[in-house]
């Protein structure tokens, strides 16, 4: 079972395109804003500052340090292999995990972000992320997790698995390559950039993995601080939304990372199987499985999804609910 092959989507001409005319004027302004913010990025959220002052032995995971964001409208069958009952299952899956570990949970119906949704439902995901920033100033991290994902191992805490300083040093790859995944490219998108050679946990603001198409935003973490609040604003800028990028918000993210060193230095790339494993690569006891682009190719995506669903670890049903309408 391979991931969906997007190569048939074609390429744009190599001459000056509308994408160039739209995006280029915004680059200088974005660079200035990000540079100014980078001067002030040590003003992080209270939970990180508390962790820095923790006694020897390492900080403990603070309560409500993570918001689990589920961005999905209520569209039914045919949405990249999505089936109607997957959303209900995803909500249950996220609530169970959040309750077990003391995290918060928010389901964002993407249809409510009408302007972005009309442009592309994938861009509405970033509008939902912006909304989550505003509604939950108390959290340290926001985990944006697509609805075609099943959390398989409820015993793994995000703190030990990824988010503690020790875990970040262990899991984030130094000098990781980042490429632009879509076929609709500007000249500068042909460059491959690399993340920082030395991993400094407090400087990691974005945690994401890559697949054969480049960055994959089906599962990623954003640290909630002033720099990233402004970054999410810029990620959702109409100048980025207007070009018909191949992979929408993923290409928009790649554009900002490749063209802005002040963003690049805060990106942490991790092994895909750590936070975004696909069915063909999944191994027992890993955190999750993501059915990215599961449609066609003779695959019964619904059967695959429910087979994995029945293999997940079950969380006892006596926890306090934290779902937010």
Question: Using one digit for the tens of pLDDT, what is the confidence trace for 170-211?
Answer: 999 999 999 888 777 777 787 889 999 999 999 999 999 999
pLDDT given at position 192: 86
The tokens of 119 are what? 């442009």
Q: Helix count (H) and strand count (E) of the chain?
A: 13, 10
pLDDT given at position 244: 75
The tokens of 269 are what? 């790339």
Confidence of residue 243 (pLDDT cuts 50, 70, 90): confident
C-alpha distance from residue 129 to each of 97, 151, 303 (Å): 20, 20, 30
Q: CA nearest 158: which of 148, 168, 150?
A: 168
Percent of all residues in the chain with a pLDDT value above 70, rounded to a whole number: 74
Confidence of residue 35 (pLDDT cuts 50, 70, 90): low
Higher pLDDT, 15 or 12: 15
Q: Are 116 and 127 in contact (CB under 8 A)?
A: yes
pLDDT given at position 38: 52
Query: What b/e sequence results for 48-78 when a residue is b if at least 16 CB atoms lie within 10 Å of its CB, and e otherwise?
Result: beebeeeeeeebebbeebbbbbbbbbeeeee
Out of 40-49, 55-64, 279-288, which region has the weakest mean confidence (pLDDT)? 40-49
pLDDT given at position 239: 82
CATH of domain 63-309: 3.90.550.10
Q: Is 68 strand, coil or helix?
A: strand
H helix intervals, the chain: 18-38, 46-52, 84-101, 114-119, 121-135, 158, 165-171, 226-235, 238-241, 249-259, 261-264, 272-275, 301-309
CA–CA separation, 12 vs 30, rounded Å? 25
Span 112-132, pLDDT tens digits? 887 777 777 788 899 999 999
pLDDT given at position 238: 84
Higher pLDDT, 243 or 199: 199
Q: Are 44 and 225 in contact (CB under 8 A)?
A: yes
- Tell me how crowded residue 263 is: count the other CB atoms within 10 A of its CB: 25
CB neighbour list of residue 225: distance below 8 Å, 6 or more residues apart: 41, 43, 44, 45, 48, 205
Q: Are 41 and 226 in contact (CB under 8 A)?
A: yes
Please state the pTM of the whole predicted model: 0.80
pLDDT given at position 301: 87
Confidence of residue 27 (pLDDT cuts 50, 70, 90): low
Residue 46 pLDDT > 60:
no
pLDDT given at position 40: 47
Residue 70 pLDDT > 60:
yes
Length of the chain: 325
pLDDT given at position 308: 97
pLDDT given at position 139: 96
The tokens of 257 are what? 């990372």
Residue 325 pLDDT > 50:
no
CA–CA separation, 3 vs 291, rounded Å? 8
pLDDT given at position 209: 97
CA–CA separation, 110 vs 117, rounded Å? 7
pLDDT given at position 36: 52
**111 burial type by CB count under 10 A (0-12 exposed, 13-18 middle, 19+ buried):** middle
Q: Are 209 and 277 in contact (CB under 8 A)?
A: no
Higher pLDDT, 81 or 320: 81
CA–CA separation, 225 vs 238, rounded Å? 22
């Amino acid at each position: 079972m391979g991931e969906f092959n997007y190569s048939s989507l074609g390429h744009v001409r190599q001459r000056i395109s509308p994408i160039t005319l739209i995006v280029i004027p915004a680059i200088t302004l974005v660079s200035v804003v990000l540079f100014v913010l980078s001067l002030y990025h040590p003003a992080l959220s209270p939970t990180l500052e508390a962790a820095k002052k923790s006694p020897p032995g390492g900080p403990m995971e603070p309560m409500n340090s993570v918001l689990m964001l589920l961005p999905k409208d209520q569209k039914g069958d045919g949405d990249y292999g999505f089936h109607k009952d997957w959303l209900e299952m995803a909500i249950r899956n996220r609530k169970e995990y959040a309750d077990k570990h003391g995290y918060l949970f928010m389901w964002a119906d993407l249809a409510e972000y009408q302007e972005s949704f009309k442009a592309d439902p994938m861009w509405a995901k970033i509008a939902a992320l912006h909304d989550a920033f505003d509604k939950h100033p108390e959290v340290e991290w926001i985990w944006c997790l697509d609805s075609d994902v099943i959390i398989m191992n409820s015993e793994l805490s995000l703190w030990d698995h990824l988010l503690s300083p020790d875990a970040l040093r262990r899991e984030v790859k130094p000098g990781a390559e980042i490429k632009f995944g879509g076929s609709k490219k500007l000249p500068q998108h042909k460059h491959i950039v690399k993340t920082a050679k030395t991993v400094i946990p407090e400087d990691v603001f974005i945690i994401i993995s890559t697949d054969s198409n480049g960055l994959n935003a089906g599962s990623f973490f954003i640290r909630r601080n002033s720099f990233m609040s402004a970054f999410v604003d810029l990620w959702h800028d109409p100048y980025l939304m207007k070009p018909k990028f191949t992979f929408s918000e993923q290409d928009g993210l790649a554009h900002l990372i490749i063209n802005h060193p002040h963003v690049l230095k805060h990106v942490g790339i991790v092994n895909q199987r750590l936070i975004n494993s696909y069915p063909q690569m999944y191994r027992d006891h890993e955190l999750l499985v993501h059915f990215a682009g599961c449609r066609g190719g003779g695959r019964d995506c619904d059967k695959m999804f429910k087979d994995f669903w029945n293999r997940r670890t079950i969380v006892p049903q006596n926890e306090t609910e934290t779902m937010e309408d």
